[in-house]
Structure 1
Amino acid sequence: MTLSGYFAVFLAASCAAAATGMVFKPGDWYAALRKPSFTPPGWVFPVVWSYLYVSLAYAAARVAETEGSQLALALFALQIALNTLWTPVFFGARRMAFGMVVIALLWGAVAAMGLAFLRLDLIAGLLVAPYLIWLSLAAALNWRIWRDNRAL
Structure 2
Amino acid sequence: MKFLKPLFVFLILNFGALGLGILLMGNGPTSDWYTSMNQAPWTPPNWLFGIAWTFIMLCFSFYMTFLYLKHPTNKVIALFIFQFVLNVAWNFIFFNQHLIAFGLLTLIALTFVITAFLVTYFRLLKAYSLLIVPYFIWIYIATTLNLYILINN
By how many angstroms is 1:69 displaced? 4.4
Task: Tell me whether 52-61 or 70-79 shows the greater mean CA deviation.
Answer: 70-79
Q: Deviations over 1:83-122 (max 9, x none)?
A: 1110000001010000001000000000001123323212
SS for the counterpart of 2:46 is coil
Higher relative contact order at CA 8 Å, sep ≥6: structure 1 or structure 2? 2
Does 2:94 align with 1:93?
A: no
CA distance in 1, matches of 2:99, 2:84: 20
Query: Letter of the aligned partner of 2:11 in structure 1?
Result: L
1:7 is matched with: 7
SS for the counterpart of 1:43 is helix
**After superposition, where does 1:6-45 map in structure 2 within 5 Å?**
6-19=6-19, 20-24=21-25, 25-26=27-28, 27-45=31-49
2:57 is matched with: 53
Quick check: 1:72–1:116 contact (8 Å CA) kept in 2?
A: no
When the two structures are aligned, how many residues end up with a matched partner?
A: 149
Q: Deviations over 1:4-49 (max 9, x none)?
A: 1111111111122111124413222211111011111111111100
By how many angstroms is 1:126 displaced? 1.4
Task: Tell me whether 82-91 or 109-118 shows the greater mean CA deviation.
Answer: 109-118
Q: TM-score, normalised by structure 2?
A: 0.89
By how many angstroms is 1:147 displaced? 1.2
1:73 is matched with: 77
Query: Letter of the aligned partner of 1:15 in structure 2?
Result: F
